[in-house]
Amino acid sequence: MTLSPAGVRRQPVVLTLVVPFYNEAPVLPILIRELKRIFCAAALEAANISSVQYVFVDDGSSDGGADLLAAEMASKGCRGTLLRLSRNFGHQAALAAGIDCAEGDVVAILDADLQDDPGEILPMLEAWRNGFDVVYAVRTSRKEHLLKRGAYRLFYALLHYLSEGLIPKNSGDFGLVDRNVVLAVRSMNERIRFFRGLRAWVGFRQAQHVCSRHVRAGGAPKYTWRKLYELATDGLISSSIRPLKIAEVVSILSVIAAGATAIAVGYRMLTLAHPSDGLIVSYGILLGVLLLGCANLACLYVMSAYIGRMFVEVKGRPAYIVAARLDS
């Protein structure tokens, strides 16, 4: 796809919509109905979209949702591709499988739970036509409870800082990318895939699209606190080495603090005026040891996070395994 002299992509395009899902049987009928409504023939003609390719990725579901989709595709109610992974590999691996299968000029990413409105893809496409290769959603509001909203805010702030500003705040996987970006992401060999980090790292012309995040259309959230922690850790570690740099600084400061404490305690022991002052010295030693121990544990935690993921990468196993593929 090329740009016109005015910097606008005017040609009809093939849009691929990648939808990973895991145990979303209650939501899938609503999702299919929404996709049919939003990407109806009249809407496609108005947006100059020649066709839409749906790539659904079943991440090892056990609730029959994949069978529901297969039946819908067999009845030609929803044309596209269904990938069934051999087990639950995780959201990011399922997303990678869908991206590897996408063949459109433009590829959009959407979760099946409809917390992100598929209708936002059409204005994103307009931004792409104006010359941007990546259009990512920035959420202005979320409908989760207060504790989870706070956790997300902290995660996005840390991700933005630790990636040295590369990954924008409040930007998730929801968005739209040009085929050149897809090919660039595919060319990278990471086994631990964190799409929004890869999308930011490859560069190209990027723009944000501001929207709000809705409540789930049905079913229960699949990201438990444990899975959110794993996603956050994978994202932070795979996107930057800044945590290692911070661990280096903490180690140096710990050595300086320990040395200063030793000097202060030694001086105090030499100048004791009263026997009771020995208790103060003991507390000083205890505090210094405690601070040094906490700093060491923090640095060990950071290093173990990197070493564990290095172990996964060195083994060279694929990020996912496709057990079956259905094309309609």
Tell me the average pLDDT of the chain. 76
Confidence band (pLDDT; 50, 70, 90) for 108?
very high
291 and 246 both lie in a single domain? yes
* 132 compared with 194, residue with greater pLDDT: 132
- Cβ-count burial 257-289 (b if 16+ within 10 Å, e if not): eeeebeeebeeeeeeeeeeeeeeeeeebeeebe
In this predicted model, which residue has the larger pLDDT, 309 or 327?
A: 327
Higher pLDDT, 152 or 318: 318
Q: Do the bridges between strand 106-109 and strand 13-21 make them parallel or antiparallel, or are there none, so unpaired?
A: parallel
**CA nearest neighbour of 4 among 59, 70, 48, 66:** 48
How many other β-carbons are positioned within 10 Å of the β-carbon of residue 164?
Answer: 12
- For residue 5, name the pLDDT band (cuts at 50, 70, 90): very low
Q: Are residues 254 and 226 in the same domain?
A: no
Residues 223 and 247 in one domain: no
In a domain, 4, yes or no: no
Identify whether residues 83 and 219 lie together within a single domain. Answer: yes
Does residue 294 lie within any of the structural domains? yes
Identify whether residues 185 and 282 lie together within a single domain: no
Helix, strand, coil percentages in the chain from 3-state DSSP, rounded to 5: 50, 15, 35
Query: Are 272 and 162 in the same domain?
Result: no
Question: How do strand 134-139 and strand 13-21 relate by DSSP bridges?
Answer: unpaired
In a domain, 150, yes or no: yes
- Where is mean pLDDT largest: 123-132, 135-144, 253-262, 282-291? 123-132
Predicted pLDDT at 36: 87
Q: Is a pLDDT exceeding 80 seen at residue 106?
A: yes
Residue 6 inside a domain? The answer is: no
Distance CA 23, CA 66 (A): 9
7 inside domain: no
Question: pLDDT tens-digit profile of 33-60?
Answer: 888 888 888 888 888 888 888 999 998 8
Number of residues that this document lists for the chain: 328
pLDDT, tens digit, 9 for 90 and up, residues 253-264: 776 776 676 676
Average pLDDT, stretch 271-294? 63
Output the pLDDT for position 115: 83
Average pLDDT over residues 126-132: 87
Same domain for 251 and 132, yes or no, is no
Q: What is the pTM of this model?
A: 0.69
Lowest mean pLDDT among 84-98, 147-161, 200-214: 147-161
pLDDT, tens digit, 9 for 90 and up, residues 133-142: 888 888 776 6
Supply the pLDDT for residue 139. Answer: 77
> 160 pLDDT exceeds 50?
yes
Residue 187 DSSP one-character state: T
Cα–Cα distance measured from residue 139 to residue 302, given in angstroms and rounded to the nearest whole number: 29
250 or 188, which is more confident: 188
Whole-number pLDDT of residue 50: 83
The answer to whether position 187 is within a domain reads yes
Query: What's the rounded Cα separation, in Å, for the pair 225 and 227?
Result: 5
State the pLDDT at residue 162.
67
Number of domains in the chain: 2
- pLDDT in the model for residue 325: 85
Q: Which two tokens stand for residue 282?
A: 């003991």
Domain that holds residue 33: 13-240+322-327
- Write the CATH number for 222: 3.90.550.10
Do both 177 and 36 map to the same domain? yes
Residue 3 lies in a domain: no
Residue 33, in any domain of the structure: yes
Same domain, 132 and 252: no
- 200 and 215 assigned to the same domain: yes
225 & 270 share domain = no
The verdict on 85 and 206 lying in the same domain is: yes
